[in-house]
Amino acid sequence: MSMTECPKCASAQIEQGWILSAGKIAFRSDGLSYPFEGGNVRTYVCLDCGYTESYVVKEYLEKMNSNKK
Ligand SMILES: [Zn+2]
């Protein structure tokens, strides 16, 4: 997944990066132990209005999906 157009102002000026705290932001499923290194949530920002949208990376989605089977 990615954000190619701002859902708030319709701008196409989108930059991608990480939201930082002490380290990268990560989502951990209750169903999984700690399988990722660093962040697993990628964030896009609209360069015109500043709106941000975040996605868990595909590799971690696959781990959550395979844990269901
Ligand atoms: Zn915008």
Q: What percent of the chain has pLDDT over 70?
A: 84
- For the entire predicted model, the pTM comes to 0.62
Spacing, Cα 42 to ligand 1 middle (Å): 17
- Quote the ligand 1 centre to 29 CA distance (angstroms): 30
What residues does each domain of the chain span?
Answer: 14-67
3, 53 in Cβ contact below 8 A?
yes
How many other β-carbons are positioned within 10 Å of the β-carbon of residue 58? 11
Three-state secondary-structure class, residue 45: strand
Residue 33 has pLDDT above 80, yes or no: no
pLDDT tens, residue by residue, 36-64: 667 788 889 999 998 999 898 898 889 88
What is the whole-number distance in angstroms between the Cα of residue 48 and the centre of ligand 1? 5
pLDDT tier at 12 (50, 70, 90 boundaries)?
A: very high
In which element (H, E) is residue 55 found? strand 52-56
